[in-house]
Amino acid sequence: MNHSLISANGNTHIKIAGLAVAASLVFVAVVAASATTRTDTTARAYGPVVKATTLTNVAKTGAALVR
């Protein structure tokens, strides 16, 4: 067994890279599974509902903006 990454051979580097890829795939699978099992998936907004119905004239351009 190689205990140093500097003196490790190619086979050891392949094992380390394979283990890192496998661990990241497990992590992604767990995160994806937990995201689909949430019961509260609706977006919530708090505060009054504001509708854009009033036209406001801008002094420099003379154009009407909806605010």
Strand 64-66 to 55-57 pairing: antiparallel
pTM listed for this prediction: 0.47
pLDDT of residue 17: 92
Tokens encoding 10: 């190619």
The encoded tokens of residue 24 equal: 């990241």
> In this structure, are residues 13 and 21 in contact, taking their beta carbons and an 8 Å threshold?
no
How much is the average pLDDT of 19-35? Answer: 91
Cα(3)–Cα(17) distance, rounded to whole angstroms?
16
Section 39-67 average pLDDT: 65
Q: Domain coordinates of the chain in residue numbers?
A: 1-43
- When pLDDT is averaged across residues 5-31 and rounded to a whole number, the result is 89
Say whether pLDDT at 55 is over 60: yes
